[in-house]
Structure 1
């Protein structure tokens, strides 16, 4: 876990390339997801879910969130439910969520140091790209790879390796930042250093210490200190 932050620029340089997960790492998208699920529940005459009950499931994708919203399905979430979720989410996209506090300052510090950064998410690429203009990241993120961009998705290392190659960096020169165990597994398999975003979404039984990442950070502001990076 990171220690006390020192001013940016002291304690060493930032990594040359940083790749980020999106939901739960850069973006607090849980409010959009809750609005999506509650539209679906309202259509079925069900009461709305509390945001706190949605938040832990966000990083696990549409199927897991739908399973949490409709426990009567017993975890059997069919493709029609997933499609309904995605179609409804497209309506709520970017209307309620925002970047986590401190993310913009952290990205600015990376950019000021000449670090190249990009996004690798399991969210469908068309939805991720649709979010970029409202966040002001469409020209700042050097690469954007979605869960359907390639033949594999995280925890497979292919998206991370593809991004590094596209940007001209060796995997060993990159750090991958995410809030879910599959992010750390993907980084390890790709030969990248990894950092757990502890401010993200986790189920109660998740223990990031067991993920064996190279570093962890409590908040985005901790990453203003170059020494906090692996």
Structure 2
């Protein structure tokens, strides 16, 4: 016997929200003030799911363990915070998908590695009303650790067997699989992982948000 999920959990950047334009703009702003040419958007877009670490790595070849990274990360995040709603938008089909989930009487939530100082203003700006939000600094661990998903389910008194988790990065799928939640890889996202999406061990790969509404779980 099968039934639709009662809980739909999502990554934020690259899954619900196309935040890459503002993230890329922050990285290119830092390049320009240093006398460097801006990089093409597509070069930076694929790193957007990795936040400051990914964007600074692509823009400057700097890693978190390198000298000066902390200062550059602060500069990046401070600029991004001021401009994070300039061009961000929900992906096509996402508003309709969320409306249909709510119309079914199901609940939905966000589990992201993005920190709360960015997440909650973006949720408010885009007029989203998730039942639960777990940010990258809510717990001491973040994805690919499965604990944020477990924490979200516990927060709304839901079972793993009645939930799905959808994301655009392999760490999303690893977290979902680790939490025994039906895992969904979304191909409209940034897909920044080096492995092809077909190798992520997702339970399902979808190409547009409407496909998520067709998921049925085995009871």
**TM exceeding 0.5:** yes
Q: Which residue of 2 aligns with 1:7?
A: none
Q: Which residue of 1 aligns with 2:121?
A: 130
Query: Please, which of 60, 64, 85 is the counterpart of residue 54 of structure 2?
Result: 64
Per-residue CA shift, 1:15-47, capped at 9, x if unaligned? Answer: 100110000000011101111111111111111
User: Matches of 2:157 and 2:99 in 1, distance apart?
Assistant: 21
Query: Please, which of 13, 36, 50 is the counterpart of residue 46 of structure 1?
Result: 36
Q: Which residue of 2 aligns with 1:93?
A: 84
CA apart distance, 1:220: 1.3
Q: Where does the alignment leave 5 or more consecutive residues of structure 1 unmatched?
A: 1-11
What's the C-alpha RMSD, in Å, of the aligned pairs? 1.8
User: Matches of 2:137 and 2:215 in 1, distance apart?
Assistant: 33
Paired residues of 1:18 and 1:175 also in contact (CA < 8 A): yes
Flag the 1:78–1:14 CA change in 2: closer, same or farther, 3 A: same
User: Matches of 2:215 and 2:194 in 1, distance apart?
Assistant: 30
Paired residues of 2:24 and 2:48 also in contact (CA < 8 A): no
CA apart distance, 1:98: 0.2
Q: Which residue of 2 aligns with 1:111?
A: 102
Q: Which runs of 4+ in 1 moved over 4 A?
A: none
CA apart distance, 1:222: 2.4
Q: Which residue of 1 aligns with 2:199?
A: 210
Paired residues of 1:14 and 1:110 also in contact (CA < 8 A): no
Number of corresponding residues: 215
User: Matches of 1:59 and 1:74 in 2, distance apart?
Assistant: 16
Matched, 1:171 2:171: no
Flag the 1:225–1:170 CA change in 2: closer, same or farther, 3 A: closer
Q: Which residue of 1 aligns with 2:134?
A: 145
Matched, 1:159 2:114: no
Q: Where does the alignment leave 5 or more consecutive residues of structure 2 unmatched?
A: none
